[in-house]
Amino acid sequence: MSDAAQPTAAEVRAAAEAVKTALDRHLAAVERRSGEDDPAVYDAFNELAAAAEVYDELLYDRYDEVTPFEIPGAEDTLPPYTGPEEPGALSVLIRRDYAVAEPQRLMAQARRVEAADEAGPVVEVSGTVHGALGLLFGEFEPDEIASRHKEFGLEEGDSTLWVTAADETAEPGEWLEAPFEQVDPQRVVCRFDVSAVFDEEYDDGIDDDDDDDDDGGVGGHGGMAELDEDLDTDLDEDGEPTRQEADR
């Protein structure tokens, strides 16, 4: 970083004073805590985290030094729950990411669905990845695709499931145009996350000697078991199932 872009010593000092102020405010909020999920404590925590992050960055840019502590960012935690104590309804929000690892396998599976359709497709859509995805996700439930993703040429990415509380069930069609716009994090009852990041953190804490005793475990919050390799379909060079697999 050039000298012109470096923060001044006064800016670093001001950032340090901001951390001190945020520390005092956080302690005061904790001392006045009205309950386990006091919003004032939550806000003071976020202010302290933000001030510490700014100070750490300026300290590094100016002096090539870092602080001896780390405070998790506000995005790492959910805000205190403020929804109804006795929810009359709930919403389950799910996101699952996939990489299209084997397009030929994906389209081969879509062709099998088309071939099984007695009426026959009006227009063949299995010849493109876009068309194959639409056909398969229209044919199979999302949970079935999640459990058989390797058969469809997909590779799992991160996934999350949120359970949010509501006072009453929404009217039919009320949120269909924008289903995820009005999600209130303070009404999240619980969430379950799956990510390779959690697997790496789990593996880092295990000695190699323990590997033989470990059945694989689950990573993250909730986790998901690895799919049995026997479910993996073998394809020939044209992307079709081999005779051995077709006779299975």
Q: Clarify whether residues 46 and 103 are in a common domain.
A: no
**Is 82 domain-assigned?**
no
Residues 63 and 112 reside in one and the same domain = no
User: Is 127 part of a structural domain of the chain?
Assistant: yes
Number of domains in the chain: 2
Cα 1 from Cα 62, distance rounded (Å): 10
Is residue 187 pLDDT above 80, yes or no? Answer: yes
Answer whether residue 83 is part of any domain. no
93: left (phi > 0), else alpha (psi -120 to 50), else beta? beta
- Sequence-separated contacts (24+) of 109-117 with Cβ below 8 Å: 109/136, 109/151, 109/152, 109/153, 109/233, 110/135, 110/136, 112/241, 113/139
**Lookup result for tokens 């998901």:** 224
Quickly list H helices, 88-237.
103-116, 129-139, 142-147, 196-204
- Does the pLDDT at position 215 exceed 60? no
Worst-scoring range by mean pLDDT, 20-34, 63-77, 201-215, 232-246?
Answer: 232-246
Give the whole-angstrom CA distance, residue 18 versus residue 40: 18
User: Residue 220 has what pLDDT?
Assistant: 36
Q: Regarding predicted confidence, which is higher, 142 or 248?
A: 142
Show which of 76, 103, 123 is a domain's final residue. 76
Mean pLDDT of 123-133: 86
| Secondary structure of 9-36 in HEC code, one letter for each residue | HHHHHHHHHHHHHHHHHHHHHHHCCCCC
pLDDT in tens, 71-116: 654 445 567 788 888 899 999 999 999 999 999 999 999 999 988 8
Amino acid, single-letter form, for residue 210: D
Q: Where are the beta strands (DSSP E) in the chain?
A: 89-100, 154-166, 188-194
Provide the domain limits for residue 53: 3-76
pLDDT digits (tens, 9 = 90+) for 152-181: 999 999 999 999 998 899 899 999 999 888
One domain, residues 154 and 241: yes
Assess whether pLDDT exceeds 80 at residue 221: no
Domain edge (last residue) among 12, 41, 76: 76
Higher pLDDT, 247 or 147: 147
User: Residue 72 has what pLDDT?
Assistant: 57
* Residue where a domain stops, chosen among 76, 105, 129: 76
Q: Is 25 exposed, middle or buried (0-12, 13-18, 19+ CB in 10 A)?
A: middle
Same domain for 199 and 127, yes or no, is yes
* pLDDT tens, position by position, 37-48: 788 888 898 899
* 127 and 9 within one domain: no
33 and 120 in one domain? no
The yes-or-no verdict on residue 9 having pLDDT over 60 is yes
3-class DSSP assignment, residue 118: coil
Tell which wins on pLDDT, 148 or 126: 148
What's residue 208's pLDDT? 52
* 124 shares its domain with 229: yes
For residue 238, being part of any structural domain is answered with yes
Dihedral of CA atoms 51, 55, 58, 62 in degrees, nearest 10, equals 160
242 belongs to a structural domain: yes
> Measured between alpha carbons, how far is 169 from 172 in angstroms, rounded to an integer?
9
Domain-embedded: residue 54: yes
Asked whether residue 59 is assigned to any structural domain, the reply reads yes
- The answer to whether residues 103 and 159 belong to one domain is yes
Q: Is position 71 within any domain?
A: yes
Q: Could you tell me if 41 and 33 are in contact, meaning their C-beta atoms sit under 8 angstroms apart?
A: yes
What is the overall mean pLDDT for the chain?
Answer: 78
Residue 110 and residue 125 in contact, taking contact as beta carbons nearer than 8 Å: yes
- Asked if residue 95 and residue 157 are part of one domain, the reply reads yes
Q: Are residues 162 and 218 in the same domain?
A: yes
Q: Are 155 and 56 members of one domain?
A: no
